[in-house]
Chains A and B, each alone.
Chain A
Amino acid sequence: MAARLRELTRSPGTRIPPYTFGAAAGVLLLVLILGTLGVVAAYAGGLSALGPWDMRAIWFTLWQSVVSATLSAVLAVPVARALARRRFTGRALLITLLGAPFILPVIVAVMGLVSVFGRSGFVNDALASLGLSPISIYGWQGVILAHVFFNLPLSVRMILHGWQAIPAERFRLALSLGFGAADISRHLERPMLREVLPGAWLAVFLVCLTSFAVALALGGGPGATTVELAIYQAFRFDFDMGKAATLAIVQVGLCVVALALASRISRPAEFGAGLDRTNPIPAPIGWRQGVDYISIAAAAAFLLVPMAAVILKGVPGLLSLPPPVWAAAGRSVIMALISALLALTLALALATAIARGQKWAELAGMLPLVASPLVLGTGLFLMLRNAASPTELALPVTTTINAVMALPFALRILIPATHSLHADYGRLADSLGLHGFARLRLLILPRLARPIGFAGGLSAALAMGDLGVITLFADSRNPTLPLKLYQFMNSYRMDDAAACAVLLMGISFALFWLFDRGGRVRAAI
């Protein structure tokens, strides 16, 4: 108590400015992303020119990202609205489950999509029995289908948060003023969407921009080469580090342009603070009710059936998985937890700085999204090769890179909430002299518990499924679970691989659920 009093009464003059941690985190990120890029370019002795196939890869990457992001964002609006205003049994569970595809390791998700939409999948079986011609998942349509599958849940959750962030008092006021559905849409929903949608679109766009494995598996051929894939090929095949660096710079450039566009479109909704009443959002009846339930059912079928297919295929082999797989699972869980803590710490520091007007921190925080993990890994490898053995660094470096790669998602989730928190309570907290740890414990953590839980779960799950970086630093004595999955496939053990996929999916989802649940329990206080 005495310590708390001291904390509360410490004189402002000796206080570290509140955005110092955020600024430090931002600088750290810039050094990590741009520094590694610079090291790779320096190693190569300069940048290489791009050929016509590279330009094609850039063009394909760009247009499929725009289409994927737009589809994900547009389809997410009715689903998020339906989930925001309808109440039904299992709603909370469904919201959590709908988040699952985003955190699925790519390889597992592709397995699921192929077993539903593939040549011998349910959908084509059904079409054949109706005498209709089959659809093909392979080609650009497969890439976009997979990207919507991955990112629709992310968009739904971000937009749903937006709906829940409209203070309940505004809806009560609207009702008492006799607003119809169109008026509510104009005065409450559209301003909210104006604030939230560009961010959601941008997040998906950037995820698709760096897509690698999806394009490989479902792209159908080299017509669907993405920039990240071109980087991999420059590295693995031609050992052309200069080209890898050039392509990585192109990715960063595209990111900066997209960020600039999104920040022009996004406008704060400025609803002001509410009293945290949990009054339900008004749910119109009649045909709108039907549309809402159809939206929810369609999204649930699209997102959950492929996962069910993966589960059905893998569960029989689950218990016969050999002990090293379980050891790898344990190792992956520890790494994922550390990654999540790191990502959350960085994201909170950055979000606070951004809320206090440090705009550049937002750019720094979004950069990892377009950093090529391969270039990042190679750069770190070059930087650290004289300091320590890469093999010893395999697990710590992988953990750090995973934290950095998850950071943009955590940040996207925290920024709006931190922004409102600062706008609504910042002056009050300042006038009360609530700073430092006390402010974190009494104001920030309780009020941001929901987005923090969500962001932490996302970071942990994303780290769990990552394969990219560890292949460069791999350490055969300490494989992670995704690495085990590939080892099964490479040893022809497809059934074991399917069982391993279920395990990986189960753990990723459990991590996500625990964090998310924890956040929502805290938020209910």
Chain B
Amino acid sequence: MRIALLALMASSAPALAAGPEFTVYAPEYFASEWGPGPKIEEGFEANCNCDLVFVTGDVLPRILLEGEGTEADAVIGLSIDQTLRARESGLFAPHNEDTSALTMPIEWQDDVFLPFNWSETAFIYDETRLENPPESLQALLDAQDDLKIVIQDPRSSVSGLALLLWIKQVFGDDSMTAWEKLKPKVLTVTQGWSEAYGMFTDGEADMVLSFTTSPAYHIGAEEDTTKHAAIFPEGHYLLAELAAQVKGTDQPELAQQFMDYILSPDFQGMIAEANWSYPSKLPDDQLPDYFADLPRPEKTIFLSEDEAEALRQPALDEWLRVFAN
């Protein structure tokens, strides 16, 4: 028992730190060795004379709970639907970066939340299992009911909420009818993206709600070219992941340095293959070839946080009315 306790304590002791500790809250996937976290840590520590520590979990709920007393110096990986609540908390400081040179299909004007990657939501299919994928969102709604898709719950998942806003934006007042047509094709609604994607790769569903950049993983890491994003002429909803510095940090220089690092070529260059999404500031010719060659939608749909917030509850009620019965 004592040995076990010692082992447990040893295993949770922090690594030897070089310089002051710089704490960044990040989502779960960041910490894994295939996520972007370890590379970012190594890259930032090379110049900061500090010990970058990622603390993972539900970033926003955690920092809201901790309030002014938070240990975080910066946060990374906030999702785009959280900016309003994060802003209202007053816990975050401006990023002080020039966002006019970002390589995103939309103009980014937020001075607090800095995007470091982006991608558009899309339905992914496997060409060996689905030979004639629907060619538009409308065609998906009109497809045979034996076409099965898996989506995510908009109450617990960023991509699920994106679909809600996507449908609302494309179909407007007819969105309720759109959901009614889509419902028979929905095999199941999962809590998060990973469960849904797992069901798709297991062959349970013909299509899964994911991102236009998902096929890049299969090409780049598995040399599998059978997975594609169905590109729809109605446009696709843009998602971005964001970083911000914490106002109350006792290391404001390091926090600013971290913001600078996020837009540096070093950081941006690792996003594609660590995060399987587009970096927010990197010209196409610096992306891996197969990434640059991915088909992109012609039209990008994006809502400001006020517009998105105004639509969220009515759209959610509509969705619940259709799907909870």
Chain B 29-60, CB-CB to A under 8 Å as 1, else 0, gives: 11111110100000000000000011111101
Q: Per a CB cutoff under 8 Å, which of A471, A476, A492 touches B221? A: A492
Q: Per a CB cutoff under 8 Å, which of B28, B34, B148, B325 touches A119? A: B148
Contacts of A233 in B (CB 8 A): 155-156
A415 to B5, CA, bound (A): 29
Question: Does B7 touch A at the CB level, under 8 Å?
Answer: yes
Contacts of A484 in B (CB 8 A): 32
Question: Does A66 touch B at the CB level, under 8 Å?
Answer: no
Contact A497 B198 (CB under 8 A): yes
Contact A472 B35 (CB under 8 A): no
Contact B204 A119 (CB under 8 A): yes
A487 to B31, CA, bound (A): 8
The 20 listed contacts between A and B (C-beta, < 8 Å) are A114-B202, A119-B205, A216-B153, A217-B188, A221-B324, A222-B319, A239-B60, A338-B8, A385-B66, A389-B71, A395-B8, A471-B57, A474-B31, A477-B14, A477-B31, A486-B29, A486-B194, A489-B198, A490-B28, A490-B35
Chain A 330-346, CB-CB to B under 8 Å as 1, else 0, gives: 11001101100100000
Contacts of B128 in A (CB 8 A): none
Contacts of B138 in A (CB 8 A): none
Contact A225 B324 (CB under 8 A): yes
Chain B 64-82, CB-CB to A under 8 Å as 1, else 0, gives: 1110010100000000000
If A222-B189, A222-B323 touch, whether A331 touches B148 (CB-CB below 8 Å) is no
Contact B28 A472 (CB under 8 A): no
Chain B 193-209, CB-CB to A under 8 Å as 1, else 0, gives: 11101110111110000
Contact A120 B11 (CB under 8 A): no
Contacts of A382 in B (CB 8 A): 65
Chain A 318-335, CB-CB to B under 8 Å as 1, else 0, gives: 000010100000110011
Chain A 210-241, CB-CB to B under 8 Å as 1, else 0, gives: 00010011111111010001001101110100
Question: Does A512 touch B at the CB level, under 8 Å?
Answer: no
Contacts of A142 in B (CB 8 A): 188
Question: Does A138 touch B at the CB level, under 8 Å?
Answer: yes
Q: Per a CB cutoff under 8 Å, which of B31, B33, B62, B199 touches A114? A: B199
Chain B 1-25, CB-CB to A under 8 Å as 1, else 0, gives: 1001101100110110000000000
Contact B189 A478 (CB under 8 A): no
Q: Which of A461-513 contact B (CB under 8 A)?
A: 471-479, 483-484, 486-494, 497
Question: Does B99 touch A at the CB level, under 8 Å?
Answer: no
A77 to B320, CA, bound (A): 39
Q: Per a CB cutoff under 8 Å, which of B62, B85, B203 touches A120? A: B203
Q: Per a CB cutoff under 8 Å, which of B8, B55, B71 touches A335? A: B8
Contact A492 B197 (CB under 8 A): yes
Contacts of B55 in A (CB 8 A): 391, 474-476
| Shortest CB distance A381–B (Å) | 6
Contact B12 A341 (CB under 8 A): no
Question: Does A437 touch B at the CB level, under 8 Å?
Answer: no
| Shortest CB distance B5–A (Å) | 7
Q: Can you list the 8 inter-chain pairs with the closest CB atoms, starting with the nearest?
A: A476-B31, A487-B32, A489-B194, A490-B29, A491-B34, A216-B191, A138-B188, A120-B203
A240 to B252, CA, bound (A): 31
Question: Does A115 touch B at the CB level, under 8 Å?
Answer: yes
Contacts of B204 in A (CB 8 A): 114, 118-120
Chain A 229-262, CB-CB to B under 8 Å as 1, else 0, gives: 1001101110100000000000000000000000
Question: Does B276 touch A at the CB level, under 8 Å?
Answer: yes
Contact A217 B191 (CB under 8 A): yes
Chain B 171-207, CB-CB to A under 8 Å as 1, else 0, gives: 0000000000000001111110111011101111100
Chain A 440-480, CB-CB to B under 8 Å as 1, else 0, gives: 00000000000000000000000000000001111111110
| Shortest CB distance A240–B (Å) | 11
If A120-B204, A479-B31 touch, whether A53 touches B199 (CB-CB below 8 Å) is no
A381 to B188, CA, bound (A): 33
**Chain A, interface residues (CB within 8 Å), range:** 35 or more
A137 to B201, CA, bound (A): 17
If A114-B202, A120-B203 touch, whether A487 touches B35 (CB-CB below 8 Å) is yes
Contact B4 A338 (CB under 8 A): yes
Question: Does A392 touch B at the CB level, under 8 Å?
Answer: yes
Question: Does B26 touch A at the CB level, under 8 Å?
Answer: yes
If A138-B187, A335-B8 touch, whether A491 touches B323 (CB-CB below 8 Å) is no
A322 to B38, CA, bound (A): 15
Closest to A230 in B: B155
Contacts of B35 in A (CB 8 A): 487, 490-491
Contacts of A372 in B (CB 8 A): none
If A114-B202, A476-B56 touch, whether A491 touches B29 (CB-CB below 8 Å) is yes
Contacts of A236 in B (CB 8 A): 58, 61, 156
Contact B191 A489 (CB under 8 A): no
If A220-B189, A222-B323, A487-B31 touch, whether A395 touches B11 (CB-CB below 8 Å) is yes
Q: Which of A351-409 contact B (CB under 8 A)?
A: 378, 381-382, 385-386, 389, 391-392, 394-396, 399
If A381-B65, A395-B12 touch, whether A334 touches B7 (CB-CB below 8 Å) is yes
| Shortest CB distance B211–A (Å) | 11
Contacts of B190 in A (CB 8 A): 216-217
Q: A385-B66, A486-B28 are in contact. List 6 more A-B contacts (CB 8 A).
A: A114-B199, A138-B188, A216-B153, A472-B58, A477-B53, A488-B34
| Shortest CB distance A88–B (Å) | 35
Q: Per a CB cutoff under 8 Å, which of A338, A381, A478 touches B12? A: A478
Closest to A137 in B: B188
Q: Per a CB cutoff under 8 Å, which of A223, A237, A394, A487 touches B156? A: A237
Question: Does A517 touch B at the CB level, under 8 Å?
Answer: no
| Shortest CB distance A336–B (Å) | 10
Contacts of B198 in A (CB 8 A): 111, 489, 494, 497
Contact A490 B32 (CB under 8 A): yes
Closest to B205 in A: A119
Question: Does A56 touch B at the CB level, under 8 Å?
Answer: yes
Contact A472 B202 (CB under 8 A): no
| Shortest CB distance A473–B (Å) | 7
Contact A337 B4 (CB under 8 A): yes
Question: Does B92 touch A at the CB level, under 8 Å?
Answer: no
A217 to B198, CA, bound (A): 11
Q: Per a CB cutoff under 8 Å, which of B12, B32, B62 touches A491? A: B32
If A486-B194, A487-B31, A487-B35 touch, whether A334 touches B202 (CB-CB below 8 Å) is no
Q: Which of A94-122 contact B (CB under 8 A)?
A: 107, 111, 114-115, 118-120
Contact A222 B320 (CB under 8 A): yes
